[in-house]
Amino acid sequence: MGSCIICGTSVDGRICELHEEDVVFEFRGTQPDELTPGRYYRGTVDGYAEFGVFVDIGDHVTGLLHKSELDQRLDSLDWDAGDTVFVQVKGVRDNGNIDLGWSIRQDESSFRGTLVDDPEADTEYLAEEDEAGNAHGGATDGSPPASAESEAGTDDGVGDTGATGSAKPAEAEADAGAGNASGESEKAGESAPRAGAVAAQTEDRPARAGSVDDRSEGAEAAAGEPETAETPETEDGDDAGPVDGTPTFEQVTVDSLADRVGERVRVEGELVTARQTSGPTVFELRDETGTVDCAAFEEAGVRAYPEAGEGDIVRLEGEVERRRGELQVETEGLVVLEDEERDTVTGRMNEAMLQRARPDEVDPLAADPAVESALEGVRDAATAVRRAVLEGRPVIVRHSATADGYLAGVALERATLPLVREHNTGADAEYHYFDRRPLEGSVYDMDDATGDVTDMLSNRARHDEQFPLFVFLAAGGTAESQDALDLLGVYGARRVLVDEQEVDADITETVDVLATPDEGETTATALAATLAAHVNGDTREELRHLPAVSFWAETPEAYGDLASEAGCDPEETTRMREAVALEAYYQSYEDKRELVADLLYGEGDLVEHVSEQFRERMSAEVETAEANIGTREVGGETVLVLDTDAYTHRYEFPPDRLLLDELHRRHREEAAALFGVGTDEAFIRGDVDVRTLVERAHEDAPEAGLDARGAREGRVEFLAGEPEAAQEALLAALAESL
């Protein structure tokens, strides 16, 4: 029996049940099931994931602090890898996964006591008793308990459990039993310097780039002497290296490493990331065939090869090993390449990646002159998307929050996600490496770009993430997007623009890849579906009905037939279009990935339910608008005029632009144009060039502040204080344009 360190109550241990939450524990065990749920433990930040923070509680035990447990947003945490944190063990699952909870006390002084939890000794004791020695059976010289010595004496420097504390793999045990390669005996509690093993992931824990399990007690050989490497031997027993025993390194590519476990190799490529852990430095190296993690150990927590950083082209030498199913290279040498050597490797990598990423020529989904005239640009755009996936680079798709915009984005999404899943093993890879971010209109402005740049810089700083590839679908093609696109370019982020309309000349020079038709008219979805078929031909069948869904007026016969082959008759494609248009309006900045997929690929009941809402709301709004439309004779032509502030329900579906589109379709035979005007904006529907219209109107009403910022949607902005002047100037200019 002992007494509670806080209240003195007699207990079996050192803390009573009443005060257990007032004490923080230092865990000395090696298995998850040795933890006590409900207790607070001191831990170390191991790394971030999209869904939370991984925290090391012991040498070989890691738990997940899910973001739902935090009292603040995950991206607002200022923890870095290696920082000390305090967490509560909420539970340990049967598979060894540890669920952690947030502690409001993030300073040890906030707890009323500190105890060491030593499962091997089956006791808890004060930290000062550990230093004193014999209060718990330890030595008086401050050395670790016998259990720790036993473990360290058989460990090879690599953690004996996986990321969630699972048992040591057989090969690690064999390594440990082999002892020191030089044949010298090890001191108790020390081991050969095999630190830097990259932790494998269990099926229940997503992979984390650069995750390292280097938490063994020993990281150095006896007396600080490095382990002497043995010269590899060939199958017949002959030494592979020179007579003097100097190891040799064969030049290989990453894709061949699986067949070279145990061999010393040389690999040339680019350093994608360089991450410093509490043990080794972990480099992720990519060559023309793939990527591999390389662990380099200088000393615990000290940056190895500080001259080498992200983006450098290097020559790396080391031994190939497999730890918990994952390949890694134990780095023995690393040199940053310069000048001709760098150019040679870079050229080889670029050429190989280009060949690997470039798709074969693909026929358009259906006969469409506009799409056919853009095929060369479409293939270049597909190459950029495929290359981003192969490089582990996120793909960010920007499109307007319209039915056509969403359908175009979904087409590329359906093609890209299978490739993302194929090349990334993480459970959340399809959400992490592909993202659709709708825009309110077709202009990509500084507000949008600032948000994107902030996200990508944060993801690089916190997760070693590469800058994404940005794909603009029927968005960003006008001069109003110039500044925002330039901001992305400052950071070297590549920009792909796919647009069914003519793009402004300055934008053509700004983006890296451009795909636009040279002739004819089509929709963004028709163009994006052809792009998607180039990205992933296996999804061609899933794309067949999407172009037909995107046409509000007459659907081209070729796309109608294609939709029929996919099992969608004209009535069904109409319902899909209406349903997507309704859902695109609500929460317009969200991609609504699963919901939109259900509308386009799910059961018909959902489509009918949502499209019925579309028809009811559109019908009611059209009825109100038509009762209040006025007419003006402009230049000998009839123009319909609607006060959108007075005769529409603002902030309700349908939005003004969608309502005016519908009114224009209904009345286009009787009127040359439709003019909708509100407090500070106007919409023009008709065969007019809105930019030219605004230039002319500005001459008559310079005080109105007319701006063709939304010209592609037929939208004009002006000062709220000059609505009458703006309206009359626009109508006068319209007379010259009709």
pLDDT digits (tens, 9 = 90+) for 396-453: 999 999 999 999 999 999 999 999 988 875 667 888 899 999 998 899 999 999 999 9
Residues 503-512: tens digit of each pLDDT: 999 999 999 9
pLDDT at 204 over 80: no
718 contacts 681 by C-beta, under 8 angstroms: yes
Same domain flag for 386 and 527? yes
Pick the last residue of a domain from 352, 378, 401: 352
Q: Which two tokens stand for residue 106?
A: 């993030």
Same domain flag for 375 and 345? no
What is the reported pLDDT for 171? 37
Same domain flag for 83 and 135? yes
pLDDT at 660 over 60: yes
Q: Which of 392, 385, 366 is nearest to 536 (CA)?
A: 385
Same domain flag for 635 and 593? no
Same domain flag for 483 and 384? yes
Burial state string for 426-442 with b = 16 or more CB within 10 A and e = fewer than 16: bbebbebbbbbbbbebb
pLDDT at 197 over 60: no
Q: Provide the CATH number for the domain around residue 690.
A: 3.10.310.20
Q: Which of 431, 437, 475, 709 is nearest to 588 (CA)?
A: 437
| Cα-trace Rg, the chain | 32
Binning pLDDT at 50, 70 and 90, where does residue 492 land? very high
Q: Which residue has the tokens 């709220």?
A: 720
How many C-beta neighbours within 10 Å does residue 350 have? 12
In a domain, 203, yes or no: no
pLDDT at 206 over 70: no
In a domain, 154, yes or no: no
Q: What's the CA gap between 369 and 366, in Å, rounded?
A: 10
Pick the last residue of a domain from 142, 177, 195: 142
Any residues with CB less than 8 A from the CB of 523 and at least 6 apart, and which? 404, 407, 408, 500, 547, 550, 551
Q: What's the CA gap between 711 and 327, in Å, rounded?
A: 54
List the Cα angle 436/437/441 in 5-degree steps: 130
* DSSP annotation string for 558-585: HHHHHHHHTT--HHHHHHHHHHHHHHHH
Helix (H) or strand (E) holding 342: helix 339-357
* DSSP annotation string for 246-298: ----EE--GGGGGG-TT-EEEEEEEEEEEEE-SS-EEEEEE-SS-EEEEEE-S
Residues 530-565: tens digit of each pLDDT: 999 999 999 999 999 999 999 998 999 999 999 999
What is the reported pLDDT for 240? 39
Q: What's the mean pLDDT in 355-360? A: 90
Residues 145-162: tens digit of each pLDDT: 433 333 333 333 333 333
Q: Which two tokens stand for residue 439?
A: 């825009």
Binning pLDDT at 50, 70 and 90, where does residue 172 land? very low
Computed over every residue of the chain, the mean pLDDT equals 83
Locate all alpha helices (DSSP H) within 74-142, ordered by sequence: 127-132
How far are the Cα atoms of 65, 366, 526, 542 from residue 562, in angstroms, in the given order? 49, 7, 12, 11
Same domain flag for 390 and 519? yes
Same domain flag for 586 and 733? no
What is the reported pLDDT for 77? 84
In the chain, the number of structural domains is 4
Q: What's the mean pLDDT in 360-364? A: 87
First CA to last CA distance, the chain: 98
Residue scoring higher pLDDT (393 or 19): 393
Q: What's the CA gap between 9 and 608, in Å, rounded?
A: 68
Same domain flag for 86 and 134? yes
pLDDT at 175 over 80: no
Q: Which two tokens stand for residue 151?
A: 């473990």
Binning pLDDT at 50, 70 and 90, where does residue 247 land? low
Same domain flag for 658 and 522? no
62 contacts 54 by C-beta, under 8 angstroms: yes
Domain holding 72, by residue range, is 2-142
Same domain flag for 600 and 466? yes
Burial state string for 116-130 with b = 16 or more CB within 10 A and e = fewer than 16: bbbbebebbbbeebb
- The percent of residues in the chain predicted with pLDDT above 90, rounded, is 56
What is the reported pLDDT for 238? 41
Burial of residue 594, with CB atoms counted within 10 A of its CB: 0-12 exposed, 13-18 middle, 19 or more buried:
exposed
Q: Provide the CATH number for the domain around residue 323.
A: 2.40.50.140
What is the reported pLDDT for 174? 35
111 contacts 104 by C-beta, under 8 angstroms: no
Same domain flag for 585 and 683? no
Q: What's the mean pLDDT in 521-532? A: 97
In a domain, 621, yes or no: no
In a domain, 405, yes or no: yes
Binning pLDDT at 50, 70 and 90, where does residue 190 land? very low
Q: What's the CA gap between 447 and 439, in Å, rounded?
A: 11
Pick the last residue of a domain from 95, 119, 142: 142
Q: What's the CA gap between 14 and 541, in Å, rounded?
A: 67
What is the reported pLDDT for 139? 38
What is the reported pLDDT for 70? 82
Q: Provide the CATH number for the domain around residue 407.
A: 3.90.1640.30
In a domain, 565, yes or no: yes
Q: Which residue has the tokens 């979805």?
A: 525
What is the reported pLDDT for 465? 85
Per DSSP, 467 falls in state P
pLDDT at 460 over 60: yes
Q: Which residue has the tokens 């502040």?
A: 705
47 contacts 64 by C-beta, under 8 angstroms: no
Same domain flag for 598 and 670? no
pLDDT at 678 over 80: yes
Q: What's the CA gap between 408 and 422, in Å, rounded?
A: 23
Binning pLDDT at 50, 70 and 90, where does residue 489 land? very high
Q: What's the CA gap between 669 and 553, in Å, rounded?
A: 14
pLDDT at 598 over 90: yes
Distance of CA 588 to the CA centre of its chain: 20
pLDDT at 647 over 80: yes
What is the reported pLDDT for 299? 78
In a domain, 176, yes or no: no
pTM over 0.85: no
Q: What's the CA gap between 11 and 3, in Å, rounded?
A: 5
Q: Which of 125, 52, 142, 139 is nearest to 90 (CA)?
A: 52
Any residues with CB less than 8 A from the CB of 332 and at least 6 apart, and which? 229, 247, 264, 317, 318, 319
Q: Which of 514, 515, 511, 538 is nearest to 526 (CA)?
A: 515
In a domain, 316, yes or no: yes
In a domain, 227, yes or no: no
Residues 463-481: tens digit of each pLDDT: 778 899 999 999 999 999 9
Residue scoring higher pLDDT (279 or 595): 595
Which SS3 state, helix, strand or coil, does residue 536 take? coil
pLDDT at 578 over 90: yes
